[in-house]
Amino acid sequence: MTGHPQKKYFRQRAHSNPIADHCFDYPPSPRLMDWSKLYPKHYPPEDPYAVQGKTKMVEFADIGCGYGGLLVTLSDKYPETLMLGMEIRVKLKKMFFLYPDPHFKKAKHKWRIINTQLLAEYAYCLAIGGLIYTVTDVKDLHDWMVHHISNHPLFEQCSEADLESDPVVSYLFESSEEGKKVSRNHGDKFLAVFRRIEAPQLP
């Protein structure tokens, strides 16, 4: 059998399985969960365990909470209730924006896949040190992406030396159908790569 892999034969998932992905510090048993790190007001370090009828207990749990918007909203209505949000998505290490739609008309620039609002989402998804790769054959769009990502406080542009030592870069120009089309038409290709950094420290 030849040809491209068919999607129906493969399973994809957007979230990690907390049972299979052992990246958490599990307590030996539920009763030995150290709650002092999450609720220091109610659980002192010297007595960090929950005991029914003795200590305040977590009553609300939001699984897959994202940014925690629901719990923030509920906290106004239930100010004395302990709530716990769990987001199980793993952080990405690389994001690729190869030949995105340039949306040439100024009125449609807000639809470009790189913009101020979406960069906050990308920063949330990327691990510290993770990379965003951008390639386009449109100089105006290249300048737009470089301007917006460079001005975001959670990204910094990679140097030429960084790009020369990155083995991924050499695959970016010809790996997609759009990239091959640009090559056939002898078009220009503009590359920029950005690194996710730690949030700046407040004074």
Give me the active site residues, please. 101
Residue 91, Cβ neighbours under 10 Å: how many?
14
